Copies of this chain bind each other. A is one copy, B any other.
Amino acid sequence: MTYCVGIKLNAGLVFLSDSRTNAGVDNISTYRKMIIYEKPGDRFMVLLSAGNLSISQSVREILQIEQLKETPESAPVTIWNATSMFDACRVLGQAVRHVYERDAQSLKRAGVEFNVNLIFGGQIAGEGMRLFQVYSAGNFIEATPETPYFQIGEYKYGKPVLDRVLTPDTGLDEAAKCALVSMDSTMKSNLSVGPPLDMVVYEANRFETDKVVCIDMQNPYFRMLHSGWGQKLREVFDSLDDPVWDDAHTETPLLTAAGARNKPLRKISTPEEKLI
């Protein structure tokens, strides 16, 4: 499987991806799932991919030469000359559709779903930063202040911490930490998500970045996060009161059968009793 997350903040963008792919648990490999497209001073874009690896690799390959034309006479739009991230994302959507035209029928014959999910974000000179999620049909949605992040792949284990922490005002370093905690939770619960991790942090209006890092399990910061988060979660759990089954002699809130407002559960005590 895969886990990738892209975050859009007022201060910039954060991208994080794992690099494990698998075709069954007995066939695990390492493939990087992040590509950076950078033309300093003009545009900075990052693409993260999940889903069928042959599809995502094909999309990445033809994205470099994909051209969008509104009419046969229009000047071709590419990711390198698009004047907005929206147009660049349309080029990406068209690349997905081209791969669909080439491969979908043969995949279907083989019983393989046409499945690819992409996160595409960045900034082109002349507009603000933008972040998109692109689906298998080549359609896409854009992140907004209410939901400033996208996840693809195994999203469930790592979602709660993103929901608790991220707002558009979150700082870049804090968001990077949040993405790494989210990744750590995912790797702990899903073996098909694994290291090394690729992370990029982009500061708004820079049109380039040097904050690009590949993180393996020896990385001291990631090791600190991994052990610190686990240990402190356990401390938090222990600090919460256990439930008390009667309501005498305690000031803590109570869990009492008597206090239940709803109809208590019916017990069945003979074979003849009916359920309802």
Contact = CB atoms under 8 A, between A and B. Distances in A.
A165 B230 CA distance: 11
Given A157-B156, A176-B243, A267-B38, A164 B220 contact: no
A271 B218 contact: no
Nearest to A19: B262
Report copies per complex.
Answer: 2
Contacts of A242: 171, 173-174, 176-177
A261 B216 contact: yes
Contacts of A235: 236
Contacts of A224: 240-241, 252-253
A80 interface: yes
Interface of A: 32, 34-40, 60-61, 64-65, 78, 80, 156-157, 159-161, 163-165, 171, 173-174, 176-178, 180-181, 185, 188-189, 196, 198, 200-201, 210-216, 218-225, 228-230, 232-237, 239-245, 252-257, 259-271, 273-275
